[in-house]
Structure 1
Amino acid sequence: MMEGYKETKIGILPKDWGVVKQVEVATFFNGRAYKLSEWETEGIPVIRLQNLTGSGKEYYYSNLQLPEHQYCCRGDLLYMWSATFGPVWWFGEKAIFHYHIWKIEHNQEKLDRAFHYYLLDDVTRRMKNESHGSTMMHVTKGGMEKLLIQLPPLPEQQKIADILSTVDAKIEVIDQQITETQDLKKGLMQRLLIKGIGHTEFKDSALGEIPVDWEVVSTDIIGEITSSKRVHKADYTNKGIPFFRGKEITQLAKGKKLNSTVYIKESKFQEFREKYGAPEAGDVLITAVGTIGSIYLVKENDEFYFKDGNLMWIRKITNKLDKSFLMHYFRSNIFQNSIDIVSSGSSQKALTIVKFKRLFVPIPNIVEQQKIAEILTSIYEKLEVLSEKKATYQELKKGLMQQLLTGKVRVTV
């Protein structure tokens, strides 16, 4: 054991750090459950889980007179303990918190609340990992109160929280940049893919109003639309040619690195390629089952085979279409909404070749297509850079938490 450290019930920690039950330094207050008859259309807002996670912006209200500890105010630390788990700051107006939320108050002479936020964040992550998922069935108020936590000297707590909050602030800035860029992308796609660049005269078409010199054609004639020979699990191997299913294409379409890949023998790949062909640079792949409408434009040096039924394959694309322009149009809300409409109508949504051929594509002149594609590609590239930057800071934060919250790296005050 390193000099200056000691063995504790929660691991090796610096000698001047304490170990306490959370209840000794923090108080967890239960929220209140409500009857439908108690909801109002105005009054004090009631915070529910969806209001904290961002999945719901609508609030219920209450005019009940409650004990003061059942209200929360700007800057209070809350903890979500049902379905969604973890600490969160409340920065809204005075509100009531629902039953599935705890409010936490601190002994400020012993525990810095910002430091406690990061401790709870780390505790939650570890509990999720131990339960092999996001559902933690045994999180109770009593259990959280008895949970042992490390307690550095207060000035060190504050310094640790300052460091981690600086990284969080950077991540928030990047999130804002991503949101702004996504909004820009959405607006540009809506305008460029329907109105084009610099047009003043328009005409009606199957896609609505478009520039007079644009064409609208059926997807039936933009290229050869097919699928591929089905690969059976018996042909899977641990190495060889990557075998991409809908899952992998969806990850690639989102600009993510593949989490997992299965393979087929190179001999089997060569057999299928000779008989049925294999995707080449410039071909477009579209997920057709499960997650429908993820688009991937095959790049140079991509070499893989894929499963029949999960993906559609567009090859030998007409030279009237710039492939990058086509990819952007396929990714647009305009086209995705059309895919959603034709895919519906059965017990399981699916995009078949027959259904796909009912759709339409606008065709500006090739120069305008290339200009539009260049603009939109630059936006996508910016989003990829921002996403990578965010991932880098998230990894930095994860590493800092592992080092700072355990005292492996000490901070000077």
Structure 2
Amino acid sequence: MSNLPEGWAGARLRDVCELINGRAYKQDELLDKGRYPVLRVGNFFSNRHWYYSDLDLDRDKYCDSGDLLYAWSASFGPRIWDGGKVIFHYHIWKTRPVDALIEKRFLYHWFEWDKENIKSDHGTGSTMIHVTKGDMEARRFALPPLPEQRRIVAKIDSLIGKTKRARDHLEHIPRLVEKYKQAILAAAFRGDAELARVGDVITDIRYGTAKKCNYDGGAVPVLRIPNVQGGRIDLGDMKSADFDAKELLKLELQTGDILVIRSNGSLDLVGRSAVVDHRAAGMLFAGYLIRLRLDPTRCLPEYLHWFLQSSVARNTITNAAKSTSGVNNVNAQELQTLELPLPSIAAQKERIASIESAFTWIDRLTADATSARKLIDRLDQSLLAKAFRGELVPQDPTDEPASALLERIRAERAAAPKPKRGRKKAA
């Protein structure tokens, strides 16, 4: 490594820490209850389902709060463990930093920074990345003097603490957005307008085709559940089939029709709708969708669509659709009995315009928040890159050079007697 800052030294990861393998488990060794939890990669990040073990293992196969761990397969990266004494799985390393050479939190931040380099090495399309122990131990490492490491860690922790607070605020935005949208819809459908049933404002309600469709299945495109996305018709994942004239006449879509998801494992999707636009006119629709065709002199399609997204309609639909079988359903009769306030067509147009204007503004803010989140992630990486180039804090010429520390540790290792291999049980 060339052009290192004053007092820094080039090293490999094996010079500054030891990587200790976890234990591979057979399925029958993983228990629902036991003395020690078994920390797997899923638990390392998000999975709350734990297995346990009663096995008596070498001390090195356990980790405890404060240990720096590294998941090296699939979902990978470092974590300073805070969950008490556990057994760690084969796809996790426990690190043993050389205290005289490197600060644990400095090594943690280096792992976080280097994780992105590993992703880049594997290509952006890689989803199942893993790193071998030999490759990780051989990774090059720019080592600052120990006092400078402490200054770097203090600076990183301070700055990343600020970006974390900003990230936490941004993560609340989706929930706030949904609440604000529901408040807008509630206001739009509040008032003294007469109530009407959905069945009173439609001229036809119909289930879609049960015919099997494929990506190259025939001449007529068929809209399915994946094509009803975010309140709009999405033509990005289309299948098709062949139909006779009678089927086409019965199921062909027209501009202004409303498609409603009637059946799904996700209760949140049941009852979600989209208005058919000119792009989808002439297509057919699948059996898990219901088509509503409205009387345009009584109710505008966009007005009914927005009503179906309101909390009043959503609560009624989800209560009707709930199922213990795993598949939630709402039927045509239940949709037709929904009651909605029905003002004049002119008033409906005003409410539609008000809703869509407010939602456009909210969606723009949401997009800005998403962009800000990505910028914060890049800022963290830029901060770490700057730290490991020696540009985050000034060097102190009175610090003992890292090269001197390395040479001393190497000499001590060479002079130390080789330890006898033996089994040490955990207390």
Pick the aligned partner of 1:46 from 32, 38, 60.
38
What are the ranges of 5 or more consecutive residues in structure 1 without an aligned counterpart?
1-6, 200-212, 226-245, 255-260, 262-277, 299-303, 346-354
Q: What residue number does 2:240 align with?
A: none
User: Which secondary structure state, in structure 2, belongs to the residue aligned with residue 105 of structure 1?
Assistant: strand
Q: Does the 8 Å contact 2:308/2:314 carry over to 1?
A: no
Query: Aligned with 1:14: secondary structure?
Result: coil
1:67 CA drift (Å): 2.5
Distance 1:114 1:219 in 2: 67
In angstroms, what is the RMSD of aligned CA positions? 5.7
Whole-Å separation in 1 of the counterparts to 2:94 and 2:163: 25
Gaps of 5+ in 2: 207-224, 237-253, 396-427
Judging changes above 3 Å, is the alpha-carbon distance between structure 1 residues 323 and 87 closer, same or farther for their aligned structure 2 residues? same
Q: 1:136 corresponds to which letter in structure 2?
A: I
Which residue does the alignment assign to 1:120? 111
Aligned mates of 1:162, 1:58 — CA distance in 2: 35
Q: Distance in 2 between matches of 1:46 and 1:186?
A: 38
Which is worse superposed, 29-38 or 142-151?
A: 29-38
Q: Compared with structure 1, are the counterparts of its residues 74 and 329 closer, same or farther at alpha carbon in structure 2 (3 Å cutoff)? A: same
- Identify which of structures 1 and 2 has the higher relative contact order when contacts are C-alpha pairs closer than 8 Å and 6+ apart: 2
Matched, 1:365 2:347: no
Pick the structure with greater CA Rg. Answer: 2
Give the CA deviation at 1:87. 1.4
**Once the two structures are aligned, what percentage of the paired residues are identical?**
25
> In the aligned structure 1, how far is the partner of 2:109 from the partner of 2:285?
42
Structure 1 contact 218–357 (Cα < 8 Å) conserved: no
Aligned to 2:55: 64
The count of aligned residue pairs is 333
Shift in CA distance, 52/174, structure 1 to aligned 2, threshold 3 Å: farther
Contact 1:40 1:63 survives alignment (8 Å): no
The within-5 A match list for 1:95-106 is: 95-106=86-97
Q: How does 1:113-152 map to 2 (within 5 A)?
A: 113-132=104-123, 133-137=126-130, 139-152=131-144
Shift of 1:141: 1.1
Query: Do 1:79 and 1:86's aligned partners in 2 also have CA atoms closer than 8 Å?
Result: yes
Structure 1's 152 and 334: CA in aligned 2 closer, same or farther, altered over 3 A? farther
Cα distance in structure 2, aligned partners of 1:151 and 1:218:
73
Superposed CA offset, 1:218-250 (max 9, x none) = 69949999xxxxxxxxxxxxxxxxxxxx99996
Q: Does the 8 Å contact 2:37/2:53 carry over to 1?
A: yes
Residue 24 of structure 1 and its aligned partner are, at CA, apart by 1.1
Residues 1:395 and 2:378 aligned together: yes
- 1:91 aligned to 2:82? yes
Q: 1:410 to 1:50 in 2, by over 3 A?
A: closer
Name the aligned partner's letter for residue 7 of structure 2: D
Cα distance between partner residues in 2 of 1:387 and 1:328? 25
Instruction: State the one-letter code of the partner of 1:16.
Output: G
Provide the rounded CA distance (Å) in 1 between the counterparts of 2:279 and 2:148.
54
Contact 1:325 1:373 survives alignment (8 Å): no
- Per-residue deviation, 1:187: 8.2
Give 1:169's aligned residue. 161
TM-score with structure 1 setting the length? 0.57
Cα distance in 1 for partners of 2:203, 2:156 equals: 52
Q: Is the 8 Å Cα contact of residues 171 and 393 (structure 1) preserved in structure 2?
A: yes
8 Å contact from structure 2 (residues 260, 274) kept in 1: no
Residue 217 (1) aligns with residue 208 (2): no
CA offsets, 1:165-188, max 9 Å, x none?
344434544555466666677789
- Report the AA paired with residue 89 of structure 2: H
Q: What is the distance in 2 between the residues matched to 1:42 and 1:187?
A: 43
Instruction: Give the AA of the match of 1:66.
Output: L
Return the structure number with greater strand share: 1
Which residue is 2:217 aligned to? Answer: none
Q: Deviations over 1:104-155 (max 9, x none)?
A: 1211222122222222222222222222223235x21122112211112223
Matched residue of 2:95: which SS?
strand
Q: Structure 1 residues 66-75 or 383-392, which shifts more?
A: 383-392
